[in-house]
Structure 1
Amino acid sequence: MTVARPDLNLLTTLDVLLEEGSVTGAGRRLALSPSAMSRALARLRRATGDPLLVKAGRGLVPTPRALELRDRVRALVREAESVLSPAHRLDLATLSRTFTIRGSDGFVEAFGPPLVARVGAAAPGVRLRFLRKAGKDTAPLRDTIDLDTAVIEGPLPPDVLDTPLFSDTFVGVVRPEHPLAGGPVTVERYARARHVNVSRRGSTEGLVDEALHPTGHHRDVVTVVDGFGAALALARASDLVASVPSRHTAPLREHLHTFALPFPAPEVTVSLLWHTRLDADPAHHWLRTAVTEVCREAS
């Protein structure tokens, strides 16, 4: 047998009745006729099993049960009004929250310091948790991470939103003692060198090779790693050439020799991703704006 659910609209009626102590006065506040208000009081009496308001001379007085309920009903109604109202203005000074941001290798090194500084100055109670991106799966946005960075290569799921952060162009990187660090880098010299490729799937070819092939040359890829940091570490300690996105890896390339690729270099757009569940959240909107501004100011 299904039990009928109570009419929660009666809470508002009861709140006003107990505050006014008058069917007529409550009816005026709720824009109800005296007869409609009387019917509402009758429903409340049936629901609570108590008369709630009883006659005393020319007025009404609350029963002990009504007095017991008054503060609880008022709190419930105020809480419901708060739930069904737009969010209050964001107060960054008192905001206490931890946000999780996932980024590709080099993102934290390039953009983490100014982002941490900006967030700390505006919202000292906010903590940022950075995760290294291990794949392109957007599923973690649904529950475990707040923001993701990615080069979008295909349609996103309908519940994932995005905005472009910056464009990045690939460059070549070698240690200062490498032969390519001296003299002009031609396509022939670049192709003859030994290379390290970055691929999470373990592939020996990628965007750089797609751009190089029209010249009739091919790279000699002898090592494959899964991140830009690892590629640059190998370039720093050997004669391998690393081809990496410029802006993303700027701090990681310190004390290394960087050169423009001798053919039309591939360019990618890095975007910021988030789930629709967080789109209207004021604090999340503020953080998205901070990340976007930090990345664009660094251009």
Structure 2
Amino acid sequence: MENADLNLLVALDALLAEGSVTGAARRLGLSTSAMSRTLTRLRSATGDPLLVRAGRGLVPTPHAVALRGRVRELARDAQAVLRPPADPLDIASLERTFTLRANEAFVELFAVTLFKTITRSAPRVRLRFAPKPNKDAEPLREGLIDLEIGVVEAAAPEMRAQALFRDRLVGVVRTGHPLLSGRGVTPKRLVAYGHVAASPQAMFRGPVDDALDALGLGRDVHVVVPGFMDAMRMARHSELVALAPRSCLGHASSDAGTVDSGLQCFDLPLATPDFTVSAIWHPRMDADPGHRWLRDVMATLCRTIEPAHRAG
């Protein structure tokens, strides 16, 4: 790499962020003329004008816009690699707020135990649970969310993930529901009763409907609610059938499927795959000591509680 100059990478990051030679020079503590010469070198190295005149200002070329996100990450990574190691993390004195995005069921199952676990060793750490209306990865990319709990999405391949536990869908009905009579639950009996569906996007269909389609069957969904806990509350006070991850039932269910909340769960008579619930974060947080500590605490906690199957 005898022709590579990492200073150019940092300068390009500043230029694309500021959209101005003067602003970039101010950010890096250089003179405007020095930054102008650096821009000339960058244009020569990339074969692109990068910033072009528009009225009294500068605007990025399409190539510069395409490079912006990559350059920002590369510049940060290069600076982190070349920076002296930080002092060892002192958990007891760590003052930090971590923002986690998780669905209502995870918060209900884990939040209290997570808070107590963290408070014992890091009393100055605060937790903020953010709502999860969708699976958009932008809040992770922009640093608005530190850690997301959920299923890894193919749409965000750059994200890092650590498996926490395996989960699966089960059926949930009120205690004493006629579906759970001695005849057993079959696909036809499952769809003979009305259903309540859980969907943040207000969708009537879910993963189980594809399996039912293959059998020529379909659910009669009477109600759609935002979350699984809402669906289980509806099932508790009606004849509706809810489908929810096994973890939503917490620790209360017995081998017989009875839940202390007036609900009973049952295995679905359909081939629905298990899924892995993971902790998901942006690569920029990989080496951050505080973030790494939080991930370790989360993984240990999930192994201890183990709501369904331990992650492989």
Q: How many residues align?
A: 221
- Tell me the CA shift for residue 118 of structure 1: 1.4
Residue number in structure 2 paired with 1:161: 160
Q: Distance in 1 between matches of 2:121 and 2:273?
A: 37
Structure 1 residues 90-146: Cα deviation after superposition (integer angstroms, max 9, x where no partner): 111111111111101200111212211211111111111112211111111122111
Give the AA of the match of 1:201.
Q
Q: Distance in 1 between matches of 2:176 and 2:160?
A: 45
Q: How does 1:177-192 map to 2 (within 5 A)?
A: 177-183=176-182, 184-192=184-192
TM-score in terms of structure 2 length: 0.66
Residue number in structure 2 paired with 1:99: 98
Residue number in structure 2 paired with 1:266: 273
Q: How does 1:132-281 map to 2 (within 5 A)?
A: 132-141=131-140, 142-158=142-158, 160-183=159-182, 184-250=184-250, 254-281=261-288
2:84 corresponds to 1:85: yes
Identify unmatched segments of 5+ residues in structure 1.
6-82
2:292 corresponds to 1:285: yes
Q: Distance in 1 between matches of 2:251 and 2:133?
A: 20
Q: Distance in 1 between matches of 2:95 and 2:199?
A: 38
Secondary structure at the residue paired with 2:134? coil
Q: Distance in 1 between matches of 2:33 and 2:212?
A: 72
- Tell me the CA shift for residue 153 of structure 1: 3.7
Asked if the contact 2:151/2:275 (under 8 Å) is kept, the reply is yes
Secondary structure at the residue paired with 1:145? coil
Q: Give the % identical residues.
A: 43
TM-score in terms of structure 1 length: 0.68
- Tell me the CA shift for residue 279 of structure 1: 1.4
Asked if the contact 1:207/1:266 (under 8 Å) is kept, the reply is no
Query: Aligned pair in 2 of structure 1 residues 153, 270: CA closer, same or farther (>3 Å)?
Result: same
Query: Aligned pair in 2 of structure 1 residues 4, 113: CA closer, same or farther (>3 Å)?
Result: same
Query: Aligned pair in 2 of structure 1 residues 231, 155: CA closer, same or farther (>3 Å)?
Result: same
2:307 corresponds to 1:296: no
Identify unmatched segments of 5+ residues in structure 2.
1-30, 36-81, 253-258, 307-312
Give the AA of the match of 1:188.
K
Query: Aligned pair in 2 of structure 1 residues 84, 153: CA closer, same or farther (>3 Å)?
Result: closer
Secondary structure at the residue paired with 1:283? helix
Give the AA of the match of 1:227.
G
Give the AA of the match of 2:303.
R
Structure 1 residues 209-261: Cα deviation after superposition (integer angstroms, max 9, x where no partner): 12233333221111112211111111111111001110144269633111111
Asked if the contact 1:148/1:272 (under 8 Å) is kept, the reply is yes
Q: How does 1:107-126 map to 2 (within 5 A)?
A: 107-126=106-125
Q: Distance in 2 between matches of 1:283 and 1:102?
A: 17
Asked if the contact 1:171/1:265 (under 8 Å) is kept, the reply is no
Residue number in structure 2 paired with 1:24: none
Q: Distance in 2 between matches of 1:87 and 1:296?
A: 30
- Tell me the CA shift for residue 2 of structure 1: 4.7
In angstroms, what is the RMSD of aligned CA positions? 2.2
Q: Distance in 1 between matches of 2:100 and 2:93?
A: 21
Asked if the contact 1:208/1:266 (under 8 Å) is kept, the reply is no
Asked if the contact 2:194/2:239 (under 8 Å) is kept, the reply is yes
Q: Which runs of 4+ in 1 moved over 4 A?
A: 1-5
